[in-house]
Amino acid sequence: MNRDAFALVPGAGAELNHRMMDGGDRAPFLSGVLEGFYGRPWSHEQRQRLFVWMKAWGLNTYFYAPKDDLKHRADWRSCYASDELTVLESLVRECRGKGLRFVYGLGPGLDIIYSSEGTRETLLKRFRQLAGIGVTDFSLLFDDIPDTMLAQDRAVFDSFADAQATLSNEIWSVLRSECGGERFLFCPTPYCGRMERAQLGGKGYLDRLGERLDPSIDIFWTGPEIISSSIAEDHLAALAQTLRRPPLIWDNLHANDYDLRRLYTGPISGRPLDPKKHMAGILINPNCEFEANFVPIYSLAHYVQQGADYSPPRTFESGLEAWMEQFGGVGEPWTKEEVQLLASLYYLPFADGPDASRLLSDLRSIVQNGTEASHTARSRFDEWRQRIHSIALKLTELENRDLFYTFNRQWWEIREEMDLIARFLDHRQAHPGESILPRSPEHLPGTYRGGAIRVMQSLLEMNADGSFEGGRPVDV
Ligand code: GDL
């Protein structure tokens, strides 16, 4: 594994330079999928399909850490019942049977007592259950938890980082010596640049963690932000100095658990061109809706394998080609253009897909140009609308019902919005100069999108620079 870039980092200690140059005893580069979002975890069948995709595309790791699986976080203390363990065992078997690494994650941070002997035993008891069904890779996650210690912990540890590092080192040492542990991953409390600057976990948390956490443990990092539009090489190089190891990227680019009205179907982008030089690995934590993740996961594999030759637009194209197979149904076959339009309208958090940019620009100009809107603009609008309607129908015909349910609600809204704009344009054509559509039969007063949340969202409005503005009168 190439660590040359780190070896060149000036000022790194001799030990760090040595480790980064020859890789020390570090395990292989991790690439794959992290099920680490809030909300309903994926089903057994979905995970099985995931493993098939990952194997076909050459990814190597699946990380099990579903935030809202009861036993992952809220009830981290209980052991699995035997029927639960049987299901997990078959998942681990499926995963490893495809040649993939299965990492089991546990998030005990919400109410943990770091210094208690009982905590150590409880964690080990759970991990031993997993070791008993063949798991060799483990993780402790301390993200999204209170960053203060109880008095009894403060009496034992000099810092929050020390408390987490000491506990993790102890657990890892037992797992390695008694349970054939191969790899241990650690998610810190400040896991992005913004949190580090805000001194989450206390001043100097990362430095102390880098110093105290066993050097064979990998540390997760999401980039400058929780959702990072880009992650620069020098950002990672500087972080590697602090952590005394290259970070393992937890990539939230395609996560949508924080905004469930969105889906992200675009290719990974904005990451360093040579991932293996700057990271211990990269795992993506994608959409809650499993079926939306085909192109994102496909693109991750291409990104990791192609390095400097990786092109997001080209990969989007080839990813769509590959995705077409999932769109079989009872009606007319889907065209590539239809799948592309569907994916384009969701794409990425910081960019619209190619078709979406064209559609939105056409919509802005026809709605804002008033009565001057040309016949050509109107027929372009009608064409978009017709394509959107046709996709709405074809979604209902899909054999893969999960794929249908993934997009149906969102597409329904898009279709209805297009119909509303069409009504508005018809009205304006019939009453030149008027820019108010008096009523739409499908939109009775008080029934427009969003219910209570819409009122809440209208109280504070986000400006283009990210600031929020309040105080405008709201019609409730
Ligand atoms: C987070 C959570 C993650 C969640 C993501 C996106 C990390 C390390 N933790 O803060 O579980 O899915 O944001 O909302 O990213």
Please report the pLDDT score of residue 285 as a whole number.
98
The percent of residues above 70 in pLDDT, for the chain, comes to: 93
250 CB within 6 A, ligand 1: yes
121 plus 268 within the same structural domain: yes
Please report the pLDDT score of residue 132 as a whole number.
97
257 CB within 6 A, ligand 1: yes
Between the CA of 304 and the centroid of ligand 1 the distance, in Å, is: 22
Name the domain boundary from 245, 278, 311.
311
Say yes or no to pLDDT of 62 above 90. yes
Domain-embedded: residue 425: yes
Residue 24 or 464, more confident: 464
Please report the pLDDT score of residue 473 as a whole number.
67
401 plus 264 within the same structural domain: no
Please report the pLDDT score of residue 472 as a whole number.
72
Domain-embedded: residue 329: no
Our count of domains for the chain comes to 3
pLDDT tens, residue by residue, 405-422: 999 999 999 999 999 999
Could you give the CA distance from residue 156 to residue 153 in angstroms, rounded to a whole number? 5
For 426, the token pair is: 């018809």
354 plus 263 within the same structural domain: no
pLDDT tens, residue by residue, 352-393: 999 999 999 999 999 987 656 688 899 999 999 999 999 999
Domain-embedded: residue 67: yes
Residues 20-37 have a mean pLDDT of: 76
Please report the pLDDT score of residue 459 as a whole number.
85
73 CB within 6 A, ligand 1: no
346 plus 238 within the same structural domain: no
273 plus 350 within the same structural domain: no
Confidence at 14, pLDDT banded by 50, 70, 90:
very low
255 CB within 6 A, ligand 1: yes
Residue whose CA lies nearest to ligand 1 atom number 13:
226
Global pTM reads 0.92
Report whether 394 contacts 338 (CB < 8 A): yes
Phi, psi of 296 (to 5 degrees): -55, -45
The whole domain housing 463 covers 451-476
Domain-embedded: residue 316: no
Say yes or no to pLDDT of 5 above 80. no
Nearest-atom number in ligand 1 for the CA of 220 is 8
Between the CA of 255 and the centroid of ligand 1 the distance, in Å, is: 8
Domain-embedded: residue 327: no
Residue whose CA lies nearest to ligand 1 atom number 9:
143
Beta strands in 58-136 (DSSP E): 61-64, 101-106
Say yes or no to pLDDT of 2 above 70. no
Q: Which of 258, 193, 274, 257 is nearest to 29 (CA)?
A: 274
Domain-embedded: residue 268: yes
Q: Where are the alpha helices (DSSP H) in 23-81?
A: 44-57
Residue whose CA lies nearest to ligand 1 atom number 3:
37
What CA–CA distances, in Å, run from 120 to 72, 169, 371? 16, 11, 71
Residues 198-206 have a mean pLDDT of: 97
270 plus 346 within the same structural domain: no
403 plus 461 within the same structural domain: no
Between the CA of 172 and the centroid of ligand 1 the distance, in Å, is: 24
Please report the pLDDT score of residue 370 as a whole number.
66
Domain-embedded: residue 328: no
> For position 352, which CATH number holds?
1.20.58.240
Between the CA of 36 and the centroid of ligand 1 the distance, in Å, is: 7
473 plus 437 within the same structural domain: no
Helix (H) or strand (E) holding 467: none
260 CB within 6 A, ligand 1: no
Please report the pLDDT score of residue 25 as a whole number.
54
Please report the pLDDT score of residue 474 as a whole number.
59
